[in-house]
A and B are shown apart, each in its own frame.
Chain A
C-alpha cells in the first residue's frame, strides 16, 4: 500500500523516492516527514505482524524457523486453543466483552448525566463537585484497588463479576469529556425552550440533550471500553476463579504456566492474536464516524 502511493508521486521527478533529493520533488512531497511517519508505522506494526505470523507456527517451528517465515500449524493451534480446558479461552473472551461492554455502557450513562448536569446548570457547589470528581483521575489505581478488594471482600462481593465491573463505572475522564461536550453541543436556549414548553428537566435531558451529545458519548464509550478491556490490575487483584477471568488475566496465567510447559507458548501466541483482533477491528470500523481528536477533548464548535 505504501509503495504504491509513493510511486504515484515519484515518477514526476524521474527517480525513486529514496534517492530523490532535489527541491522540485520536495515541493510536491515532504520526504522527511513521510519517511519518519512510515518508520513509526513500521515500528508500531512490527509486533502485530509478528504475532500474525507466529500464530501460524507449530511449537517446534516457533523456536527453529526464521521469525517472519510463516509456519504450518495455524489450524492445529486454533483447535488446541479451542480444546484447552474445554474452551476456557472463549469464556475469557466472553468475560472481557461483558466487562468492557456493560462497564462502558454504565460508565457512559453516568458520565452523560453527570457531565450534562455540570455543564448546563448553575448551582451551588458545582465547581467543588467537579474538582472532587476530577481528583479521582489523579488517584493512582493502586491506592484504590487493594482497599476496594478488602471492602468488597467484606461485602462478600470479591471474586464476582461485580467486583471488576462496579469500581470502573465512575470514570472521571468520562465525566470530564461529557461535560465539555455537553457545554459545546447543547445550546442553553434549547434547554430554555424545552422548559417553556413545560418539559421536565429529566425529559429535556433524555429527549433533547442526549441526542445532541451522542458523538461525544461514543468517544466516552470507546475510551472506557478500551480502558476496561485492557485493564489488568483490578481483575488480577479481585478474581481468583479463572472462569471469571478477562482475556488479559487469562493470557497472563497461560504464559505463566508456559514457563514450565513450553508447549503452551503456541497457545499463548494464538490467543494473543485473537485477543487483539476484536479491538483492532472495532477501531477500523468506528474510525469512519469517530474522530480520534475527541479523545483529547477537542470540540469543534
Chain B
C-alpha cells in the first residue's frame, strides 16, 4: 500500500478503499450469519432409514415448520411473557431514574455533582455477569444487609429469588447497571439547551420544577426516545443476568428468557434449526417492538429524532 499506488485510485477511489475493511467484516460477521440463520430456520434434518452411515442425515426444506413449532412452544411463550413483564419494569424505572437524576445534575447550585455523576456512572464499568453476581449474593438471606435490617425491624422478609420477588431482583440488576449510562446521555442533551431558553422562562416567573417539566423535558425528548429505543432492544435479549443468577436459585430455569431457550435448543439439544427459528423470532419481535415504539413516539416530531440519530 504505497502512496503511489494509493494515488492511482485518486480521490474517487479512496472512499471505497477506505471502506473495504468495514465492508468485508460486515459481510463475514453480519450479513453471512444472518443469511445463514434464516436459511437454517427454513430447513430441518431428515433421517433416512436407521440414521446410520453417511448421507443418512439430510437437511431438507421445512418451510415455516420451525417457526410454527417455536411459536406454539409453551416454554418459549412463557419465556417471552416473563421477559415482557421484566421489560415493563426495567425500561420505565431505569429511564425514569435516569431522567430525574439528569435533571438534578443539571439544576442550579447542586453540590457534589462531579462525584455523584461518576458514582452513578460507575456500574457501567461493571460487567453484567459481575453485577448479577454481586446482587445475587446481596439477595441471599444469610448474606444480605436488607434481610438483616428487615429482621431487626421485625418486618416480613420477601423472597427475592422466587416468584414476583425474582422479577424485582432481576429488574434491579438491570436498572443498577443501566441508569448511569442513560443519565449521561440525557444530561448531555440537557447541557446542549441554550441558556437563553431558561432566561426567558425565569423572567416569566417559572419555578425550577415548571422549567424542568415544560422546557427541559420537551427539549430532550429526542434523546429520551433514543434511550428508550436502545433499552427495549437490550431488555428483550436479556441473557447474562438470569443465567448468572441461575446457580443461586432453583426458580430461574434454564429457559427463563427466550434467548436462554434458544441457547439450550442449539447447544443442549443440538437442534440448530429450531434454535435458528427462535433467534429469528426474537430478532423480529425486537425490531418490530423497538421500531413500533420509535414510530409511535415520533409521529409528531420525527424530524428531531432523525437529526438526533445522525448527530
Contacts and interface: CB of A to CB of B under 8 A. Distances in A.
A78 interface: no
Contacts of B138: 46-47, 50, 67
B81 interface: no
A105 B141 CA distance: 43
A167 B29 CA distance: 6
Contacts of B272: 146, 150
Given A143-B34, A233-B239, A237-B263, A44 B134 contact: no
B113 A37 contact: yes
Contact of B111 (A9, A202, A280): A9
B110 A33 contact: yes
Contacts of A237: 263, 267
A279 B177 CA distance: 14
Contacts of B184: 292-293, 295-296
B127 A248 contact: yes
Contact of B240 (A116, A146, A232, A259): A232
B112 A5 contact: yes
B118 A287 contact: yes
A62 B283 contact: no
Interface in B140-197: 142-145, 148, 176, 179-181, 184-185, 187-189, 191-192
A233 B264 CA distance: 13
Interface in B78-127: 97, 100-101, 103-105, 107-113, 115-127
Contact of B101 (A40, A138, A169): A40
Contact of B129 (A66, A167, A232): A232
Question: Secondary structure of the A side of the interface?
Answer: helix
A30 B109 contact: yes
Contact of A44 (B112, B129, B176, B310): B176
B22 interface: yes
15 contacts: A33-B110, A37-B110, A43-B176, A44-B176, A47-B135, A67-B145, A67-B148, A114-B22, A126-B15, A129-B19, A230-B127, A252-B129, A258-B247, A279-B125, A279-B126
Closest 5 CB pairs of A and B: A41-B119, A180-B311, A117-B18, A33-B104, A147-B33
Interface of A: 1-2, 5-6, 9, 27-30, 32-34, 36-38, 40-41, 43-48, 50-51, 54, 62-63, 66-68, 110, 113-114, 116-118, 120-121, 123, 126, 129, 132-133, 136, 138-144, 146-148, 150-151, 166-167, 169-170, 175, 179-180, 183, 195, 200-203, 205, 226, 229-233, 236-237, 247-249, 251-252, 255-256, 258-259, 265, 268-269, 272, 275-276, 279-280, 282-284, 287, 292-293, 295-299
Given A28-B109, A113-B21, 17 more contacts: A37-B104, A37-B117, A41-B119, A45-B122, A47-B176, A50-B138, A110-B21, A123-B12, A140-B233, A142-B239, A144-B37, A180-B311, A201-B7, A230-B126, A236-B243, A237-B263, A292-B188
